[in-house]
Copies of this chain bind each other. A is one copy, B any other.
Amino acid sequence: MILKREHFDEKQAQLYDVIVAGGGAGGLSAAVYLARYNLKVLVIEKGRGRSFWMQDLWNYVPRVVSGKELIEGGKEMALHYGADWLNGFVEEATDTGEEFHVRVKYRFKNSDYPVFRTKYLIAATGLIDVLPQLENMQNVYEYAGYNLHVCLICDGYEMTDRRAALIAGSEKAINTAFVLNWFTPYITVLTLGAYPVGDEMRAKLADHGYPLIEKPIARFLGKDHVMDGIEFADGASIKVDTGLISMGSLRHDGYLKNLGLLTDGGDIVTESDCRTSHPRVFALGDLKKGLNQVSIAVADGTLAATAIWKEIRRASAPRKWAAPLQEAAARAEESARPEIGLGAPRGG
């Protein structure tokens, strides 16, 4: 069910098996598995994450799917199987020893700050790509995720042999040109004039024939989500067929700061089942080390949910079939359809 204010008292009183912070590809997959393991799960989603901005996803079998379809479809599945859902922002997770207290900001205005309790925590809040900050951000959103890409692995194919602008957020990020050139050599590198470029990098770019333009962007040119050029602050412009933004990303991981999770270059270090250095905290998808791909996040959700289920199951008393029920079943053999009250499903 989707939680509203009127549910907070009841839901704060209970102990969830798992709270999933983040309702993107990884969090949704975890939620669907957990709900189908008949566990009590709450997904907390702030909205407008990377999946939300993603246009069509071309590499996730069996068919092209948009980011919105992915998150809406996954949410529908999770709710169908009994997961709880809260639209809110996870502010802080506190480890009390036996459980976590997860404080959520609910609504931007007239906010509530409910605290939900859980045995396990799954961090699936992902990251958000840094975009060029233009005066008119609508101009950026018009093209970002269409033919102004943010993920080389996802969309390099779409840039094959096209004239591509590489918008690099730092001198180090310019090195993306030397991976992008697997797909196309027609690369123009843009620094936005935001940082100096050393002689060695200049020489390497010159050797490869990739022009370097070091001035602010005024706006992207084009229409109907098809960018076909870039205009600079000085009024000059270039024509391009596509672009790649390589300006890094911001992790949504502030709520984890008190848990002291082991990281490597900012990425959360995990075991093969997505368990972090804290035995009851799992991290999925873009927050952890490894490829930032929808398929990986979805598998991560499977792995974390299954590992958690296994632990909870092993710690639970086995369910036995009480004799009266067996006898009732035996008696019913002769009749058309036995009437055994099986009770409500665990998860229901």
| Chain A residues in the interface with B (C-beta under 8 A) | 25, 28-29, 32-33, 36-38, 58-65, 69-74, 76-77, 81, 153, 156-157, 160-163, 178-179, 181-187, 207-211, 237-239, 272, 290-291, 293, 295-296, 298-303, 306, 309, 313, 316, 318-323, 325-326, 329, 332-333, 337-338, 340, 342-347
Contacts and interface: CB of A to CB of B under 8 A. Distances in A.
A160 B33 contact: no
Oligomeric state, in number of copies? 2
Contacts of A59: 29, 32-33, 36, 302
Given A62-B77, A160-B347, A320-B185, A302 B293 contact: yes
A73 B58 CA distance: 12
B62 A209 contact: no
Contact of A179 (B63, B182, B313): B313
A209 B36 contact: no
A161 B65 contact: no
A28 B61 contact: yes
Given A71-B62, A322-B209, A238 B333 contact: yes
Given A181-B318, A291-B303, A295-B299, A209 B60 contact: no
Contacts of A32: 59, 61
Contact of A298 (B156, B295, B347): B295
Nearest to A300: B299
Contact of A321 (B69, B186, B323): B186
A73 B62 contact: yes
A29 B62 CA distance: 8
Contacts of A181: 318-320
Contacts of A333: 237-239
B29 A58 contact: no
Contacts of A293: 299, 302
